[in-house]
Amino acid sequence: MKNVFLQLSIIGILFIFVPTGMKANTAPDSIHTLKHVMKIHVAVPDSALKLLDVMENRKLEKPCLINAQRSLSYSQKRQPQMSVNYALKALQDTTLRSERLYYLQTMSCIAAAYQRLANYEQSIHYLTEGIQFSREIGHKQTEADFLFTMGENYYALNQRQEAYDCFEQAIQLLENEKEFRMKPTLSYFYGQLTNYLAGEQKYNEAIAISNKREDLINQMKKQKGIPQGYIDQQLSYLYIKQAYLYAQLGILQKASTHFEKFSATRYSKHKAAHIDITAYRLAMKQYKQIIDYYQKTDLTELTADTISQEFIGILSNLSEAHRGMNDFQKVLQYQQRMQVIEDSLNARNWKNEVAELATIYKLQEKEWHIRQKDEQLRNSFIIQTLLGCAFALALVLLWLAVRHINTIKKKNQLIAGKLDSLMSYEEELEKLHRQIDESKISVAEEQEREDSINKDLFRKMERIIKDEKLYLMPELVRQDMLARLSVDKNRFAQMLQENTNMTFSQYLTDLRLKHALTELKQHPNYTIQAIAEVSGFSNTRHFQRLFKAAYDMTPSEYKRHIQGKQPLEPPTD
């Protein structure tokens, strides 16, 4: 009952304010509006859900608002799990908070659904969020509703102190408000708190609360605009409850007085009043009146459904009345009927749960297919994008590769030209050195020596190495030249440093590389390994590294340059 009251109070507020936040629709589609859906969802929730599907397909409203309304509609269908699912969907959209009243409605739905599912902790969690949000926007009536509902959850968890603290906070919040529109809610809170106290047999405290409710109803009675039918109903609830409480305390005179007040109200003639009347008569031990009343009344007229907790309550009252009359055979009969109805009710609830689970499964399957399609489209887009990027990257890399090849080709051509010039200069220089040496030999005794001893020694060594092509011998070492020149190693090192600024090993490498250049130029069809071997290198890779370091190009690159300038020679063995 409390769940319904909480939701209806927020629905009423929403129904007033919805038009200002809705999209304009043409006359033919006027039923496809949240206002219309809210108007019909209580009476025909299935029709409301169909309209919401159409609105979603046409994108007439925000998805979060549509899901929020679906949650409310499923709550009316008494399918709490579906209500929770759509409420959670709505809450996933952060824009829902900007739709303040819809956000409060959604928090109310999810809290009520969890309460119906007996998941009181989760209900309290969302009520806490709802209370905080209500305080942020200054909506005190909703804050009070959430506080009272939280108290009911704590009560269900048997946390009585926390429950009564919440009840007290909710009541104080409305008692301190001057706005009269909140008084009906306060009256309802008084009535519910009276029921809780009576259930714990705290009859004196319950009477104190009912007296406060009576004062409040009398204030509302004086207020203009309050329907008299509402006042009559409130007074009938109050009087019959007070009569019951005084009967439980054994104050029978006051109990009878309040029952007479109740009987004077129009609502006392309503068939729904029989529940409270029976509770009062049981407390007064008026068993025969109870039995007579139900014997004169068609029990099926007292409730819309004979397989319901309400009908079980009627049978329970009859069972208690016959127990009071010591008619235990009737007691047993009614208890058996109650058990049959209980079993039928459990079976019906089970079928409803199965139907709800089937609906949830279908919706999840539908959502799964939608997610699959979205994922396929997303993956297709990603693949197309990646292919496009890969193609563009390939073009860029191809362009860079072509540009790099052209740059290397131009560089190699320039280096090769310089190497050719260098080789020509080396040959000319070698000829001049030989002419000078021959001239020195012929006039050695007549001409004064102009060169130093080290320079003469270097000329001698260079003539020996080049004439005998000793540099082409991989096994040639410094000790061999020391023996040929008859000098010590210190003098030999000094001579090399002054004339070449290199070590003996570096000097040999330089001669071998120059020889390799000549071989590559003369025999471009030789393999690199063959060129390395004939040039005095025992290791091809070592030769390639030295060549690259000396000339900034590989032997293969120089070889291609030479092959591009002249016809290839026949292969040699």
On whether residue 531 sits in a domain, the answer given is: yes
Which residue do the tokens 């020149």 mark? 485
The packing angle between helices 504-522 and 555-565, to 10°, is 30
Check pLDDT > 80 for residue 194.
yes
Residue 400, Ramachandran bin (φ over 0: left; ψ between -120 and 50: alpha; else beta):
alpha
Q: Would you state the pLDDT for residue 445? A: 40
CA gap 142, 9 in Å, rounded:
8
Q: Is the pLDDT of residue 308 over 70?
A: yes
Whether residue 568 has pLDDT greater than 50? no
Greatest alpha-carbon span in the chain: 166
pLDDT(213) > 50: yes
How much helix, strand and coil, in percent to the nearest 5, is found in the chain?
80, 0, 20
Residues 279, 317: Cα–Cα separation, whole Å: 8
231 contact partners, CB below 8 Å, separation of at least 6 = 217, 220, 221
541 belongs to a structural domain: yes
What CATH number did the domain enclosing 522 receive?
A: 1.10.10.60
The residue with greater pLDDT, 562 or 364, is 562
pLDDT in tens, 22-79: 443 444 457 888 888 888 888 899 998 999 999 989 888 899 999 999 999 998 888 8
Give the whole-angstrom CA distance, residue 149 versus residue 135. 16
How many domains are there within the chain? 1
User: CA torsion sign, 109 to 112 to 118 to 123?
Assistant: positive
pLDDT tens digits along 415-467: 766 666 666 666 666 667 666 655 554 444 433 444 468 888 888 888 888 88
pLDDT of residue 150: 95
| Whether residue 572 has pLDDT greater than 50 | no
Identify the burial level of 252 via C-beta atoms within 10 angstroms of its C-beta, where 0-12 means exposed, 13-18 middle and 19 or more buried.
Answer: middle
Q: Find tokens 């102009």 and name the residue.
A: 450
Domain-embedded: residue 514 = yes
Q: Phi, psi at residue 223, to the nearest 5°?
A: -80, 135
How far apart CA 469 and CA 462 sit, in angstroms, is 10
pLDDT tens-digit readout, 457-498: 888 888 888 888 888 898 888 898 888 888 888 888 888 888
Token match 């079993």: residue?
343
Q: For residue 79, give the nearest of 344, 368, 362 by alpha carbon.
A: 362
Angle at 333 between CA 330 and CA 335, to 5 degrees: 110
Q: Residue 437's pLDDT is what?
A: 57
CA atoms of 99 and 89, how far apart (whole Å): 15
Phi-psi region of 118 (alpha: psi -120 to 50; beta: other; left: phi over 0): left
Q: Are 283 and 244 in contact (CB under 8 A)?
A: yes
Q: CA 156 to CA 160: how far, in whole Å?
A: 9
**Residue 372: CB atoms within 10 Å:** 10
Amino acid 427: pLDDT: 65
Q: What is the mean pLDDT of the chain?
A: 83
Residue 361 has a pLDDT of: 67
Kindly list the distances between the CA atom of residue 256 and the CA atoms of 202, 286, 493, in Å, as whole numbers in the listed order: 20, 12, 136
- Please tell me the predicted confidence (pLDDT) of residue 152: 95
**DSSP character string of 217-257:** HHHHHHSTT--HHHHHHHHHHHHHHHHHHHHHHT-HHHHHH
Q: Containing H/E element for 521?
A: helix 504-522
| Contact call for residues 141 and 12 (beta carbons, < 8 A) | no
Q: Within a domain: residue 30?
A: no
Give the pLDDT band (50/70/90) at residue 570: very low
User: Looking at the domain assignment, is residue 145 inside a domain?
Assistant: no
Residue 22's pLDDT is: 42
Per-residue b/e over 276-305, b at no fewer than 16 CB within 10 Å?
A: bbbbbbbbbebbeebbebbeeeeeeebbee
Place of tokens 């690259």: 548
The DSSP result for 33-79, as a single string, is SHHHHHHHTTT-HHHHHHHHHHHHHHT-S-HHHHHHHHHHHHHHTT-
Mean pLDDT along residues 399-411: 77
Asked if 116 and 3 touch (Cβ cutoff 8 Å), the reply is yes
pLDDT band at 271 (very low <50, low <70, confident <90, very high): confident
Name the more confident of 8 and 178: 178
Span 116-170, pLDDT tens digits: 999 999 999 999 999 999 999 988 899 999 999 999 999 999 999 999 999 999 9
Q: Per residue in 95-108, pLDDT tens?
A: 888 988 889 999 99
Task: Give the pLDDT of residue 343.
Answer: 85
Residue from 173, 176, 205, 171 nearest 188 by CA: 171
pLDDT, tens digit, for every residue of 509-532?
999 998 988 888 888 888 999 999
Structural domain boundaries, residue 486:
469-564
Model pTM? 0.60
